[in-house]
Amino acid sequence: MDKPGYSISENWDRIYILDEAGMPVRVFDFGAKVDWQITAGRQYELYDRLPDFGVEVRTRFSCWASMHDDKPPTFWTTIHGNGLDRIYHSATWAEARDKHRRVIAKVKSTLPCKDLPARPL
Q: What is the pLDDT of residues 55-66, one digit of tens each?
A: 999 999 999 988
Residue 1 — very low, low, confident or very high, per pLDDT cuts 50/70/90?
A: very low
Cα–Cα distance for residue pair 107/58, rounded to 1 Å: 13
Enumerate the domain spans of the chain: 14-110
Residue 113 — very low, low, confident or very high, per pLDDT cuts 50/70/90?
A: confident
Residue 91 — very low, low, confident or very high, per pLDDT cuts 50/70/90?
A: very high
Name 69's Cβ contacts closer than 8 Å, sequence gap at least 6. none
- pLDDT score recorded for residue 43: 95
Name 70's Cβ contacts closer than 8 Å, sequence gap at least 6. none
Query: Measured between alpha carbons, how far is residue 71 from residues 76, 83, 104 in Å?
Result: 14, 29, 27
